[in-house]
Structure formats: C-alpha cells, structure tokens
Amino acid sequence: MTTALVCQAGKRLVEAGWIAASKVANDREARRLRVMIAAEHYRYVTEERIELLNSLVRRKTENRGMAWFGPSHVYSKIKYSSISVYPEVPPASVLESFEQAKTWGCFDAFGVLYLAAIKDEKPARTDPLLVGAIQGLPVYFAIDQWGSDIELPDLLRMIEQG
C-alpha cells in the first residue's frame, strides 16, 4: 500500500519519542490490512500445505523405470516461479485477473504455481496458477489459473480436506 498509514499505537509511540518502534507498529498494521484485503478477495494456501500436497502428489505420480538411455526417475511437484521469469504467456483472462489483483495494492509479489514433471531432478513446466504474495508471510493467494494441470477448485478442495 502506498498510503502512509499511522495506526493508533504508532501515533502514541511517535508522540512518546519511540520513532523506530512506531515504524514497526505501523508496518504491522499495514501488513494486517493488506492481508485482510487479500483474504477478502482470494483464497490462500500456505507453503507448509504446498509441501504436504507435494508429498501426496509425488507418491501418486512417482515412476522409476528404465528409458532407452538408462534408469529414469519421474514424478510431479508443485513449484513456484516469479512472474518476472516465468516464460509462458498467460491468456487474456488471467492477465485481466492479474491487473485486477494489482489494483487492490495488497501484494508485494506475483508468481505462478505450476505442476512440474520432474524427470531425473529437472522440472518440465505445465499449466500454472497465478498467485499473489505478501512479504514475510508463508502464504500464496490464488488469483487465477490457466490450463488444466493444476485446477484451482481441485487444489483448494485438497487443501481444505487436508
């Protein structure tokens, strides 16, 4: 958020001369408000939950075998990439969702979660899920998806069922 936010505690701290502490209090309040805005518009998934899902996905997709060039080890994994380095072009609907998410002013970063086929520890990209992140929080807010490798409703259902 670009607006200067002064919470009540921060204001009292400044008046008492606690300048650095007032910045901490104001930063906490700003983050709390940003999380409230993000949670009002988007569902979220924690990094901890993604790791749990990764163990489930790996068990369901792991395949060890032989290829013409020797032993092969393939499985799937949910991976994260910043939008600045993600090479795939999103469809217009996802770009519109991204532009809308930017207007809320609550995210520090945007990225994609995608199901990668890991072959001999080298990922191959698949259809992604656009997410927003707030600095300091181990959480991704699901904004939109494209393709069908990670279906947003399916991912959210898996998260809720635990």
- Encode the chain (162 residues) as per-residue pLDDT tens digits: 333 556 777 788 888 888 898 888 888 888 899 999 999 999 888 888 888 888 887 777 777 555 444 555 677 888 888 999 998 899 999 999 999 999 999 999 999 988 887 775 554 455 667 888 888 888 888 788 776 655 656 666 665 654
**105 with 11: CB under 8 angstroms?**
no
CA distances from 77 to 45, 50, 106, 111, 131 (A): 15, 9, 28, 16, 17
Q: Which pLDDT value is given to residue 5?
A: 53
Q: Which pLDDT value is given to residue 84?
A: 94
Closest by alpha carbon to 132, among 42, 14, 27? 42
Closest by alpha carbon to 125, among 143, 108, 113, 111? 113
* For the chain, counts of helices (H) and of strands (E): 5, 7
CA-to-CA distance for 144 and 141, rounded, in angstroms? 9
Q: Tell me how far apart the terminal alpha carbons of the chain are, to the nearest angstrom.
A: 33
Q: How many CA atoms lie within 13 A of 136 on its CB side?
A: 8
Backbone angles phi, psi at 118, to 5 degrees: -95, 115
Q: Which pLDDT value is given to residue 1?
A: 38
Strand positions, DSSP E, the chain: 43-46, 63-67, 70-82, 109-119, 122-124, 128-133, 139-145
The helix or strand, by DSSP H or E, that contains position 155, with its residue range, turns out to be helix 152-161
Closest by alpha carbon to 31, among 127, 135, 113? 135
Token pair 């408000």: residue: 33
